[in-house]
Amino acid sequence: MHLRLEKKLSNIFPADPPYLQHIKSGSDLVTPYPAIRAGFVAMALEKNRRATPFVAQARALKAAAATVATPDQLVNIADIRPAVLTAAGISDKALVHLREEDKTAAIEELIQNFLIPAGQDWLDELVYRFLLTRGDTLGGEMRNVAGALAQRKLTRAIISALTISGASYRWYSNKARTWLDKPDNDIDIENDLCRLSWVKTAQRTLVYNLTVPVVNKNVDLCLFDCSPEDLRNTVPAKEVYKSPNKYIALGELKGGIDPAGADEHWKTAHAALDRIRQAFGRANLTPRTFFIAAGIEKRMAEEIWQQLNDGTMTNAANLTDDNQVASLSRWLCDL
């Protein structure tokens, strides 16, 4: 009797949109300066941490190269050949496509064009050029770091929402390549997790970074009406991914904190979410869409708020605001 009454009342007085649980205006989505500063500091620290092995390698290269009197002798030192090739501007990926004679030619050009002209400072020149190439490698890594850190933060928030509600979960390990039960100690689990499944209102499974067949594009977050067993093997998983009616919600996650790139991130996400809505619309389906970002500027926030109010998008949150992330995570777990 009470359930029927609640259902009737919910039809007369529909629940507030989920985003109103944590934001009351577009300005609430704007990333405040302290969060921007903290984000830049965090990225700088992470960059320095990841640079440490490269600096150590440069010291080792300098010590090994110092055993010869002239730079032209570097061609004959097999132990440091890979490092000298790096100094010549050859990346690790490029190395696998070159023959040995091409590698030798690259080293000889480095010696003739840069090391010999440097005179007595040739050893420093060698180290500088090694670090220059390694810096490009580090730059490529750092472009992926913001997204990885964002995914880990959101994952931790979702796991926390499940834990405090008493819901159990299963998770897919990247390293083990299998589904695992909820551990007694889940410290750092988000570093290895790429899928997460739970039962609350129904069986739900969240998959990160999936190329969605109906959209034919990568989507950061996809929530499915399915169990881990449905995704255990490649063939049944493909069937789930190709079934538009299995998608409960799809979202875009942007971890970049730099205000200069925030607008571009929103344009990319906005276009991606539009493609999702159009693709599923052709199947007469309207899965929920949501957006989470660390860097949100005022104009972006106004556009996001407008889309939330007119029903274009279902939910949104600023990744730097713990309350917003926690609220959106609870919403996601309850779908």
Over the stretch 285-321, which tens digit does the pLDDT of each residue have? Answer: 999 999 999 999 999 999 999 999 999 999 999 999 9
- For domain 2-30+166-334, which CATH number applies: 3.40.91.10, 3.60.21.10, 2.170.140.10, 3.30.450.70? 3.40.91.10
Kindly state the helix (H) or strand (E) to which residue 254 belongs, with its residue range. strand 247-254
Nearest to 261 by CA among 40, 15, 9: 40
β-bridge pairing 288-293 and 315-318: parallel
Decide: 250 and 276 in contact? Cβ < 8 Å: yes
Report the sign of the C-alpha dihedral through residues 301, 306, 309, 310, in that order: negative
Rounded Cα–Cα distance for residues 236 and 239 (Å) = 5
Q: With b meaning 16 or more CB within 10 Å and e meaning fewer, what string describes 257-296?
A: beeeebeebbeebbebbebbbebbeeeeeebbbbbbbbbb
Average pLDDT over residues 9-35: 81
* Side-chain half-sphere exposure of 296, counting CA atoms within 13 A: 26
CB atoms near residue 218 (< 10 Å):
10
Average pLDDT over residues 213-230: 93
Q: In what order do the strands lie in the sheet with 315-318?
A: 178-181, 169-173, 193-199, 203-212, 217-224, 247-254, 288-293, 315-318
Phi, psi values for residue 219, rounded to 5°: -125, 135
* Side-chain half-sphere exposure of 248, counting CA atoms within 13 A: 16
What is the percent of the chain where pLDDT is above 70?
A: 96
Nearest to 114 by CA among 101, 97, 132, 102: 132
CATH of domain 50-140: 1.10.238.90
Q: Does residue 236 have a pLDDT over 90?
A: no
Decide: 141 and 50 in contact? Cβ < 8 Å: yes
pLDDT of residue 8: 42
Rounded Cα–Cα distance for residues 82 and 90 (Å) = 9
CA distances (Å), origin 332, targets 163, 197, 211, 252, 306: 14, 12, 20, 13, 21
Confidence grade of residue 124 (pLDDT, cut at 50, 70, 90): very high
Per CATH, 2-30+166-334 and 50-140 having the same topology is answered no
List the domain boundaries for the chain: 2-30+166-334, 50-140
Confidence grade of residue 242 (pLDDT, cut at 50, 70, 90): very high
Confidence grade of residue 15 (pLDDT, cut at 50, 70, 90): low
Confidence grade of residue 5 (pLDDT, cut at 50, 70, 90): very low
Q: With b meaning 16 or more CB within 10 Å and e meaning fewer, what string describes 167-188?
A: eebbbbeeeeeebeeeeeeeee
Phi, psi values for residue 318, rounded to 5°: -90, 125
> pTM of the prediction?
0.81
Average pLDDT over residues 169-181: 91
